[in-house]
Structure 1
Amino acid sequence: MEGFIKNLEVIINESIKEETIELSDIPNIDLYMDQVTTFMEESLKSYKRYPVDKVLTKTMINNYAKAKLFPSPLKKKYTKNHLMLLVIIYHLKSILSINDINKLLKPITENIVNNEKSTELETLYKYFTVLQKTSRKNDFILSEIQNEILTEDSIKNKENIMLILTVLLSSIKANQEKRIAEKILDKFFV
């Protein structure tokens, strides 16, 4: 029984330690599709269930663009906005349908004009990474973030951002729980 508990603790601790792509880690230059898939593959590799799994493929990214989950790339180049949205979409796609993701992100994406820098998206992404890092450690972080957002004058859609962050936190937790379940299945139910 002691070995079982240790194995279970290892699985849970590995899930907690999965990497977060910080806003500062996202390139400030526009990238072509191959560069985007390479960046995502390297940055999110700790989330893969099996080494052969792909994080995001060109087809997936093209389908997300067709579904209007983010603005179309300009001259086949993807901006920092696209990368932030792709990271968020990656974390949502196993929990929510494409239509639900579209509904969730629309208040943010419809305000991105000509792929220019989006303060709202950067704020959303910054707090998304905070939620990722703290979702297992402190469930009260969401209310702290919401209070910070309420005091920021530069944000117009405060309610939408707070609602989106609530859904993101739930999705992060669901993803973590799903990965723990998969790892337990892989380890103990071969």
Structure 2
Amino acid sequence: MEELEHKMSAWGESLWSFHLPRWEELPELDLYMDQVITLVDHYLSPVIHSDKHTLLTASMVNNYVKNGMIPPPKKKRYTRKHVAFLIAITLLKQVLTINEVKQGILFQGKMIGIRQAYNLYCEIQEAAIQQVCAQATGHKKRNDQSENDEIQFLAAYSASKAFANKLLAEKVIALQTSYLKEGIENE
């Protein structure tokens, strides 16, 4: 059991300083598809690694363009706006459907703008990852008194929390989608 706890703690420590690039840190130069895919993989590989599939492929990007989730590239070049969308989409699709991701992005973009929404999302995601790191290393945050961090309960607790947070996110997105539709109809 001690070896398992040590490995869990080491994993948590390795992710403690995980950082998503803010809008201003994304490349200013336009990029080609293969460069975008490499860059997104570089940014997200510390938190999403799977032997089963690639994080992002050219066909995924093309589908996101086709479905109106990201703007089409200009002359086969992608901007920092594209990279920001692709980072958020790649992370969010881990727990939400593509349609829910699209609705959430549309809502946030309309409410506070793409740049601010992206930066806020990065802050929120990093805080959530740090909370998980705190659990994995055995350090509780001030607001987490009721959580059981013992290694034998951590998977069940984390899966339950992920499910509950997914339910909440789905409900909020449904309400936001309804709000946007009502706003469009009332215009």
TM-score (normalised: structure 2): 0.61
Shift of 1:54: 2.3
Hey, what's the Cα distance between the residues in 1 that align with 2:104 and 2:127?
22
* Coordinate RMSD, CA, aligned: 2.8
| CA gap 1:124/1:52 in 2 versus in 1, 3 angstroms | same
Q: Which residue of 2 aligns with 1:54?
A: 54
Given the two structures, how large is their TM-score scaled by the length of structure 1? 0.60
- What does residue 126 of structure 1 align with? 119
- Indicate the residue corresponding to 1:71 in structure 2: 71
Separation in 2, partners of 1:133, 1:107: 21
> Deviation digits for residues 47-100 of structure 1, max 9, x if unmatched?
342468522110111111111111222222211111111110011111111111
Mapping for residues 1-190 of structure 1, pairs under 5 Å: 1-50=1-50, 53-108=53-108, 120-135=113-128, 136-137=130-131, 170=165
Q: Percent same amino acid at aligned positions?
A: 27
Give 2:115's aligned amino acid: E
Cα distance, 1:108–1:7 mapped onto 2, change above 3 Å: closer
Unaligned runs of 5+ in 1: 112-118, 141-169, 175-190
Structure showing greater Rg: 2
Tell me the distance in 2 between the aligned counterparts of 1:66 and 1:36: 17
CA distance in 2, matches of 1:10, 1:17: 13
Consecutive unaligned residues of structure 2, counting only runs of 5 or more, are 132-140, 144-164, 170-187
- Give the residue type in structure 2 aligned to 1:70: I
Compare relative contact order (CA 8 Å, sep 6+) and give the higher one, 1 or 2.
Answer: 2
Is the 1:40–1:56 contact (alpha carbons within 8 Å) kept by the matching residues of 2?
yes
How many pairs does the alignment contain? 135
